Structure 1
Amino acid sequence: MKKLINNPVSVVPEMLEGLVRLSPGLRLLSDSHVVLRQTQTEGVALVSGGGAGHEPAHAGFIGPGLLHAAVTGDVFTSPSTDAVLEAIRAVATPAGVLLIVKNYTGDRLNFGLAAEMARAEGIPAEVVIVDDDTALEAGPENAGRRGIAGTVLVHKVAGAAAAAGLDLAAVKAEAEAAIAALGTMAVALSPCTVPAAGKPGFTLGETEIELGLGIHGEAGIRRVSMASADRLTEILLDRVVAQKGLRAGDKVALLVNNLGATPVMELLIVARSALASLEARGISVERVWAGTFLTAIDMAGCSLSLMKVDAARLARLDAPASAPAWTPGQVPQRPAKPTELAPQARVLGTSSPRFEASLRAICAALSEAEPKLTAMDQAVGDGDLGISLERGAAAILAALPELDLAHPPAALAGLSSLLRRVLGGTSGPLYAVMLLRASRSLTAASSVTPGAWAEAFAEGVQALAQLGDGRAGDRTMLDALLPAAEALRTALAGDVPVSAAIAAAASAAREGADATAKMAPRRGRSSYLGDRTAGHADPGAEAVAIWLKALADLP
């Protein structure tokens, strides 16, 4: 187990101390795991909490317009009745206290008993139970639906109602109505590890994921094979929409929640998918949140929450609030229209079978080589080359009907524009400048002969070298391109068949690419790795050798 902790026993107090020291509006109740506002207010006070491991919930949502206090137990363990009662006493006002509790047996017992004891002391106290997990069916044979990430939206609705001055019964009624309008579904890509346990709470196969699991790593409704973000988003939303009876014309708030270890990149992809799916269903997303709100320690995965809204509930969600982990909901923007191909790459309705076959062969070779190039780049770079070139190949294939293949200068200019836009990193501008200079060279030629192609290739390689400030021996793609260009030009000057000249170029590129394994890198990301690149060929040079070999293999 690798975790940035000191001792599993001290995780909770040290975590809470860190939160409070970073949050001027919060303080710790002496000798307890209770966090509360520095300054309390009149009116109904809100208390929530539960086991640690769900950060930033629950203490991260303490502040004006939200909670007044939160009680934290040990990791995935309900806080004690006495701790909850301490929190109630610390924030109680004559207007009373509302406890917002997730539907887990330990939380219901400890928060419920504390409320009963508070009432015995003369403190008005009420409890609402959040049970937003649509993965489970509520029934007499189980403890009912669990409370999960949608709880955060209940905090917001109740907090706004309390801040507006409503009495305890009215705040409770709004909270219960919000709970009834709320549904959540989660998916886990990996288990989580409780610090004290030191190992994951369950195991998943290499391609397995868990649908509908709880926030403590409890089993979900089923295990399935990994699927695309779009497909998984559809599965989650299908369940929530069906369970909550949502239909076209309904308005909702959407919460896209990180379960702990999901990269922002992936969470935003899911958010995009969820918005598109709901729009396609005719369900209007009035507000959306995407981020880390209620987690399961270090679990990879996410949950999607939908809360049906009307004007009044939307006003509660929009009401001013401030807390360490709270961010205002956003009105989702309409998707941008896809960018069209550059004008020089538009349809001219003509084609060249040989030129088209060459492009298709190059694209097929680069797509097939993606795993190899990715692995090579992971060893000496940032690991994106194979994926980038595969993306470029797919874009070229899609654009073939729109390229003027009968006029190579125009087609090369179109390809330059296309790759400049779709290829990331250094590959995009380098291949783009090579194609653009080659286009200019062919334009200047009196006719498009094999010799003109060879000259265009050589000039394109020189443009690439100038832009990248590179030369032979730097351990880059130039170590394959430069000898290939020279071999092609020399072979054609010797009046050999075109096929033999291309084969000579491909052979020279292969020798050049293989030689990079013994070179010290002087350009690109590999230059930062020094001796660690020894024995590894440059992936950019390898890619050149691969697509030239594809050309040489054409009949």
Structure 2
Amino acid sequence: MKKLLNNPDDVVTEALEGTALTQPWLALLAGRTIAVRRDRLVTDDNRAELPVALISGGGAGHEPAHAGYVAPGMLTAAVSGAVFASPSVDAICDGIRAVTGDAGALLIVKSYTGDRLNFGLAAELARADGLAVEMVVVADDVALTDDDGNAGRRGLAGTILVHKIAGALAERGAGLAEVAAAARRVAETVGTMGVGLGPATVPGGAAGFELGGDEIELGLGIHGEPGVSREKLPAADELAATMIDRIVADRGLSAGDRVVLLAGNAGATPTMELMIMVRAAARALRERGIEVARVWQGPVLTSIDMPGASLSVLPVDDEQLGALDAPTAAPAWPGGGGSEPAGADEVYVPVPQAGEAGAELGEPDAGVRAAVDRATEALLAAEAELTRLDAEVGDGDLGQALARGARAWQAEPVDGSAAAILRTLSAIARREIGGTSGPLYAAGLLRAGEALAEGAGWPDAFSAGVDGVIELGGAQVGDRTMVDALVPAAEASRRGLDAAIEAARTGAAGTAEQTARRGRSSYLGERVHGHPDPGAVAVVIWLEALRG
């Protein structure tokens, strides 16, 4: 797998150096993979005045964790080990000594054996040196229980909520006992469940596991290890509901509780998909009568390049919510605070109403209605093939775009005159199809409908529609677009529909040898040769369907 690397052995150091360049308050201890706040380094002059330090860390590979949270309002230092490996005891001790004054330090540790051992021993050594150090272990993984015959629950993305609440208290000057108690309360009540759609790939290494095309790992950790069960991939709504049900049951949540929701990107999940999971998870909580006070999402604690997501749910009171809303300069924190998110019914506002050009339906034309029904069926049947053709020479969305328009017609077809039907199709095209094809089809159908309304015959209306497409899009015959099929078809239509179809086929076939000068294909140069233009092919498909 291709990676943007130099030497795999240097990835942690080089990544931290890059992180420090983007965060002016961040510094690295010389020769160490330890990020610290510049303004919180201990000296003999400030030791007595420094507030409680918050120190976290663990293996690398979870970026932006943990250095991305070293900032006012969150962590004071982050100690990084190698990829997916705990830092050493000595490294943790260096981090503690660098930022811990008389007020002491709180270590926030995820529940993995290596982290618990190394941070625990470092805390003991720091106490022996006279420093006040407390440690909180986060085990928010609801996929496991402590008596499952394994190493126990793991620390997952819910740890970030511990950082935030403890960080807000420390920033306003709370003592170590108060900060530690607040952190433990969050650690004991937050619940997280993760899902992986594929493995993580360690720099210089191999993928952690293999999955079938329709499989997921449910209940997995953050180090590339498989989950507790391998399942078939369900729809996002079902998957999110399953994860929320597990969290709700494990953490004893019930109707009337108030929570915050944090959706984490495992590393390679498109934002679009994560937002769908956010929507589904919030809906699942509300359907169970649980109030969702805040919703955040982002790459908060990743597993390098793993596709997947985590959902963390934390029951909160007013004080905790205030701490979560408190300002922080940490760039990795996904929430800037704010008011309660909208409910499912409040996401939408009414659409301004405007009269449609086809409001006057006129005398129904059963023949045209039937022809349009056939054309939309044909476009739906050809969706996969058009998508394949478009993926070879464009952005792969044509089949889906035209299918959206076809489904919209089938959902609300119109019985009216030929002109009214074309006007309705024009409105559907501009509203549903989108992209480049939507406005072009909308212009052509609108112009053709106007021509029919003014008494033109079908050949003249067809030609008027093609003129509308050309005027709006600017393409000409030879540019390798839908125009290469439309223009000859319109010219031949005076000899009948069969002649128009044959002319369109010839025009579409000819695009396979043309160099594109319009659309996405124009960026590919001669690489499109041998592949017909999918827009021209689509013209042939719906023309053939009109014949019946």
Q: TM range, normalised to the smaller chain?
A: over 0.9
Residue 455, structure 1, aligned to residue 484, structure 2: no
Cα displacement (A) at 1:101:
0.3
The answer on whether the counterparts of 2:57 and 2:78 sit within 8 Å (CA) in structure 1 is yes
Task: Between 24-33 and 161-170, report the one with greater CA deviation.
Answer: 161-170
| Matching of residue 442 in structure 1 with residue 447 in structure 2 | no
The answer to whether the aligner puts 1:249 opposite 2:262 as a matched pair is no
Deviates more, 1:133-142 or 1:386-395: 133-142
CA–CA distance in 2 between the matches of 1:535 and 1:179? 60
After TM superposition, give the deviation of residue 272 of structure 1 in Å.
Answer: 2.4
Q: Distance in 2 between matches of 1:433 and 1:350?
A: 23
Q: How does 1:422-437 map onto structure 2 within 5 Å?
A: 422-437=432-447
Partner of 2:30: 30
Aligned to 1:75: 83
Separation in 1 of the partners of 2:118 and 2:363? Answer: 76
Deviates more, 1:367-376 or 1:328-337: 328-337
Any conservation in 2 of the 1:288–1:329 contact (CA below 8 Å)? no
**Correspondence for 1:484 among 476, 484, 489:** 489
C-alpha distance after superposition, 1:353-393 (max 9, x if no partner) = 43332222111111111111111111111111111111111
1:383 pairs with 2:393: no
Q: Which sections of structure 1, spanning at least 5 residues, go unmatched?
A: 446-450, 492-500
Task: Give the match for residue 214 of structure 1.
Answer: 221
Structure 2 CA distance for aligned equivalents of residues 346 and 126 of structure 1: 72
Work out the CA distance in 1 between the residues paired with 2:361 and 2:497. Answer: 29
Q: What's the Cα RMSD here?
A: 1.9
Give the whole-Å Cα distance in 1 for the aligned partners of 2:366 and 2:234: 38
- Corresponding position of 2:341: 332
Q: Structure 2: which 5+ residue stretches go unaligned?
A: 41-48
Asked if 1:177 is matched to 2:190, the reply is: no
Per-residue deviation at 1:140? 6.4
The 1-side partners of 2:169 and 2:199 are apart by: 37
Any conservation in 1 of the 2:404–2:433 contact (CA below 8 Å)? yes
Counterpart position of 1:368: 381
Alignment of 1:141-180 (within 5 A): 141-180=149-188
Shift of 1:230: 2.3
CA contact (8 A) 1:342 1:417 kept: no
Which residue is 2:420 aligned to? 410
Q: What is the letter of the counterpart of residue 405 of structure 2?
A: G
Q: Does 1:14 align with 2:11?
A: no
Pairwise CA distance, 1:411: 2.5
Query: How far, CA to CA, are the matches of 2:525 and 2:518 in structure 1?
Result: 11
Q: Distance in 1 between matches of 2:355 and 2:238?
A: 35
Aligned counterpart in structure 2 of residue 474 of structure 1, from 479, 495, 506: 479
Q: 1:102 aligned to 2:102?
A: no
1:421 aligns to what? 431
Shift of 1:72: 0.2
Matched, 1:230 2:237: yes
Q: Does 1:89 align with 2:97?
A: yes
Partner of 1:495: none
State how far apart, in whole Å, the 2-side matches of 1:349 and 1:194 are.
Answer: 66
1:443: Cα distance to partner?
A: 1.1
Deviates more, 1:18-27 or 1:161-170: 161-170
Per-residue deviation, 1:341: 8.2
Matches within 5 A, 1:387-406: 387-400=400-413, 403=414, 405-406=415-416
**In structure 2, do the counterparts of structure 1 residues 443 and 140 end up closer, same or farther at CA, with 3 Å as the change threshold?**
closer
SS at match of 2:412: helix
Alpha-carbon offset, residue 61 of structure 1: 0.2
Q: How does 1:33-52 map to 2 (within 5 A)?
A: 33-40=33-40, 42-52=50-60
How many angstroms does 1:352 deviate by? 4.4
Q: CA deviation at 1:350?
A: 8.1
Structure 1 residues 340 and 419: alpha-carbon distance in aligned structure 2, compared to 1, 3 A threshold: farther
Q: Distance in 2 between matches of 1:178 and 1:220?
A: 24
Give the paired residue count: 534
Give the match's secondary structure for 1:39. helix
Partner-residue secondary structure (3-state), 1:486 = helix
Taking a change above 3 Å as real, the CA distance of residues 226 and 346 of structure 1, as seen in their structure-2 partners, is farther
Select between 255-264 and 409-418 the one with higher mean Cα deviation. Answer: 409-418
Letter in 2 for 1:332: P
Shift of 1:437: 0.5
Which aligned runs of 4 or more in structure 1 are off by greater than 3 angstroms? 337-343, 345-353
Matched, 1:359 2:372: yes
What residue in structure 2 maps to residue 497 of structure 1?
Answer: none
Alignment partner of 1:223: what SS? strand
- Say if 2:362 and 2:416, in contact at 8 Å, map to a contact too: no
Moved more, 334-343 or 384-393: 334-343
Q: 121, 134, 151: which is aligned to 1:113?
A: 121
Task: State the distance in 2 between where 1:282 and 1:482 align.
Answer: 59
**Secondary structure of residue in 1 paired with 2:434:** coil
Cα distance in structure 2, aligned partners of 1:347 and 1:102? 66
Say which SS state the counterpart of residue 314 (structure 1) adopts. helix
Amino acid at match of 1:378: A
Any idea what the Cα deviations from partners look like across 1:2-22, whole Å, max 9, x if unmatched? 111111111111111111122
Code of the residue aligned with 2:117 in structure 1: it is L
Task: Give 1:73 shift.
Answer: 0.3
Asked if 2 retains the 8 angstrom alpha-carbon contact of 1:342 and 1:414, the reply is no
Residues 167/279 of structure 1: CA separation in 2 closer, same or farther (3 Å cut): same
Under a length normalisation based on structure 2, what TM-score does the superposition of the two structures give?
A: 0.93
Structure 1 letter corresponding to 2:39: T
2:42 aligned with 1:58, yes or no?
A: no
In structure 1, distance between residues paired with 2:39 and 2:505 = 72
Encode CA deviations 1:114-137: one digit per residue, 9 max, x unaligned: 111111111111111111111112
Distance 1:225 1:348 in 2: 48
Please report how far the alpha carbon of residue 186 of structure 1 lies from its aligned counterpart in structure 2 after TM superposition: 1.1
* Secondary structure class of the residue paired with 1:343: coil
Paired with 1:346 and 1:303, the residues of 2 have a C-alpha distance of 48
Q: What TM-score do you get using the length of structure 1 for normalisation?
A: 0.92
1:342–1:418 CA contact under 8 A, matched in 2 = no
CA distance in 2, matches of 1:348, 1:314: 56
1:132 lines up with 2:140 in the alignment:
yes
Instruction: Evaluate the alpha carbon distance shift between residue 350 and residue 311 of structure 1 in structure 2; reply closer, same or farther with a 3 A threshold.
Output: farther
In structure 2, distance between residues paired with 1:254 and 1:296: 20
**Residue pair 1:341, 1:418 contacting (<8 A) in 2 also:** no
1:513 to 508, 516, 536: 508
Q: Give the counterpart letter for 1:260 in structure 2.
A: G
How many Å separate the matches in 2 of 1:250 and 1:346? 49
Matches within 5 A, 1:207-356: 207-327=214-334, 328-330=336-338, 331-333=340-342, 334-337=346-349, 339=351, 343-344=355-356, 352-356=365-369
